[in-house]
Amino acid sequence: SYELTQPPSVSVSPGQTANITCSGDKLGDKYASWYQQRPGQSPVLVIYQDNTRPSGIPERFSGSNSGNTATLTISGTQPMDEADYYCQAWDSNTGVFGTGTTVTVL
């Protein structure tokens, strides 16, 4: 089965840039989406189609996808960005989520 692998955790200082990677076989040939999940809340879509922000998502969130790796970048990270982040893609008509990354803003 298809797998998407993320680092378990990423730490970033306020105002700095956080990069969260998502690795999967030929992921660049698929569309990657990213979700933010704060404790006790439902996931929220922050990036779709590799690099498109839904309405209402701050410009500091951006994405890229090439080769075997998709990346979510949070520029000028704020304390409110502390959350779990999941990538997601499709393989053979099956939805697949990444293993998840906890972003800590120190």
Q: Which residues bind other proteins (CB under 8 A)?
A: 1, 30-31, 33, 35, 42-45, 48-49, 54, 86, 88-90, 93-100
**37 or 68: whose CB is closer to other proteins?**
37
CB of 104 to other proteins, least distance (A): 16
State in angstroms the smallest separation of the CB of 101 from other proteins.
10
Minimum CB distance to other proteins smaller for 16 or for 49 = 49
Show Cβ contacts of residue 81 under 8 Å, excluding neighbours closer than 6 positions.
18, 36, 60, 74, 103, 105
- Report the length, in residues, of the chain: 106
Least Å distance, CB 32 to other proteins, is 8
Q: Which is nearer to other proteins, 10 or 76 (CB)?
A: 10
Task: Give SS3 for 37.
Answer: strand
For residue 53, the 8-state DSSP code is: P
> With respect to other proteins, which residue has the nearer C-beta, 16 or 34?
34
Q: How far is CA 19 from CA 1, 6, 98, 104, in A?
A: 26, 11, 15, 12
